Amino acid sequence: MRLLTCLVSCLVPCLAPCLVVAALAAQTSAAAGQAACTATVTPVSFGAYSPFLDSPLDSTGQVNVTCSETSSYSVAMNAGVNAGGNFANRRMSNGDTFLSYQLYTDSTRSTIWGDGSGGSMAVSQASPGISTVYARLPARQSVSAGAFTDTILVTVTY
């Protein structure tokens, strides 16, 4: 079993153009005869968030894994630095103010993307593979304008 990790940072400028998710591309080196994998993350963009919206704001991103040999792998994500280790409590912060959000494995946004603990699930796939990240900002969150951030650790196990 080999691990590949990427840090994903989330930034939401409320009432401004978009949510930016930046990822550090990660690559592992492997001994001869072993697969080496590379992972990249495509940003999630929510656009402007208004606390007066009556419906949640949805968006998508991607985790793209490519290995030097055909290999199955799983993609796990942690709860983020502002969640206190609780997947149900994912949130971005701006000082002492928080904006809740969630990442899901499915388009119905019913299965929380995590590491398999606390009601979450990791995604398993074969390389090369692109996994869609389904994101949601719940409606009517009382927050002031500002930049809200969180950091997610993405772990690829193969």
**Does residue 38 have a pLDDT over 50?**
yes
Q: In what order do the strands lie in the sheet with 57-67?
A: 26-27, 37-42, 57-67, 129-137, 102-104
Region 26-45 average pLDDT: 65
Q: What is the pLDDT of residue 2?
A: 53
Distances (CA, A) of 87 to 42, 97, 127, 138: 21, 18, 27, 15
Distances (CA, A) of 83 to 21, 61, 118, 140, 145: 17, 20, 12, 19, 21
| Residues 6 or more apart in contact with residue 31 via CB below 8 angstroms | none
Task: Write out pLDDT tens, residues 5-19.
Answer: 444 444 443 332 222
Dump pLDDT digits (tens) for 47-72. 678 888 899 999 888 888 888 887 78
Rounded to an integer, the average pLDDT of 26-52 is 69
Q: What is the CATH number of the domain that holds 124?
A: 2.60.40
1 pLDDT above the threshold of 90: no
Could you tell me the residue range of the domain that residue 42 belongs to? 3-157
78 vs 71: CA distance, rounded Å: 23
Nearest C-alpha neighbor of 68 from the set 42, 30, 40, 25: 30
Higher pLDDT, 33 or 71: 71
- Considering its fold, how many domains does the chain have in total? 1
Question: What tens digit of pLDDT does each residue of 83-122 get?
Answer: 988 999 999 888 999 999 999 999 999 999 999 999 999 9
Q: Percent helix, strand and coil across the chain, each rounded to 5?
A: 0, 50, 50
